[in-house]
Copies of this chain bind each other. A is one copy, B any other.
Amino acid sequence: MTDKVLIYSRFPKTMIARFAERFELLDTGGKPAREMFSADALGDIRAVLTAGGTPLGAEAMDLFPKLGAIVCYGTGYDGVDLKAAAARNIAVGHSPGANAASVADIAMTLMLAATRRILVADQYVRSGDWAASKPSPMMRPQAGMPGRRIGVYGMGEIGRKIAARCASFESEIGYFSRSRYDLPYQYFPTLEALADWCSVLMIAVRAGAETQHAVSADILRRLGADGYVVNISRGSVIDEKALVLALTEKTIAGAGLDVYDKEPHAPDALTALPNVVFSPHIGGHTLESHVAMQNCVLANLTAFFEGKKLPYAVK
């Protein structure tokens, strides 16, 4: 009998095609599992595949009395109640580092697009205003990358890749994270101190209860009127209301956002702003990143069904 895997979040078919070759997939399409499958079918489920950001707590786990493994597609697992899983002896796996380069690259893309005002630039050319010699919205030169102070919040695999990329742009790099590492970047003991120092805050911290709204109105204000914030972690790390206010009142210059508090619902007050570059949570969405994440998922599921430990378990 083929091993069964319940697909708990909504995934495009193409993203889970490789799993269908090895396992029997029960795809909820992101809808409640109880509505999609019978209690009998759910009772058989020993493994679920989920997106790390999708809430998956004790109640959901108890839908599957035989559940032994929750495998997250991607590096994040903030939606999974780890304590509830541990209490039920459910292993939790993810794809550590598999999408780190891809996510770091979207952070760089958003930072450069925001600071070089590429949406405004593109529109000025595309509309014909440049050809018509209409006044340029780009007239006032902006600060470039050399010498710019980039603050990286979180120094995991993604943070390190962001820092390495920024260093090649001749920027100064500072960081704040729980631990201080042996890295050639300036360490700041608090997020406040990092925000006071930097002009671009790159949010690369692993999201969780303790980072909820860590980037508050106060932190944003410390970035200053020439400051930018880029978030490729989770929407929960920024106080989104404070961000809208800071961008509207121009207490900061702009932002680049790949993630939002209640995806896919980026608030209208935010999406109406001209000084933000948006992307729809596509940080990890590149060919090689998907292949790498799928490799981790396959390795985790295969090991689980063979009765072994997950090779990419959440620690």
Q: Are B112 and A280 in contact (CB under 8 A)?
A: no
Among B116, B126, B271, the residue within 8 A (CB) of A105 is B116
Give the CA-CA distance A136 to B101 in the complex, in Å: 23
Q: Are B279 and A122 in contact (CB under 8 A)?
A: yes
Q: Across the interface, which residues of B come within 8 angstroms of A124, CB to CB?
A: 280
The reply to whether the CB of A169 lies closer than 8 angstroms to some CB of chain B is yes
Chain A residues with a Cβ closer than 8 Å to the other chain, count: 56
Give the CA-CA distance A287 to B140 in the complex, in Å: 9
Copies of this chain: 2
Closest to A146 in B: B101
Q: Across the interface, which residues of B come within 8 angstroms of A145, CB to CB?
A: 101, 105
Give the CA-CA distance A124 to B266 in the complex, in Å: 11
Among B126, B139, B143, the residue within 8 A (CB) of A287 is B143
Q: Are B286 and A125 in contact (CB under 8 A)?
A: no
Q: Are B136 and A280 in contact (CB under 8 A)?
A: yes
Q: Are B144 and A278 in contact (CB under 8 A)?
A: no
Map CB proximity to B onto A1-37 as digits: 1 under 8 Å, 0 otherwise: 0000000000010100000000000000000000000
Closest to A286 in B: B144
Q: Across the interface, which residues of B come within 8 angstroms of A131, CB to CB?
A: 264-266
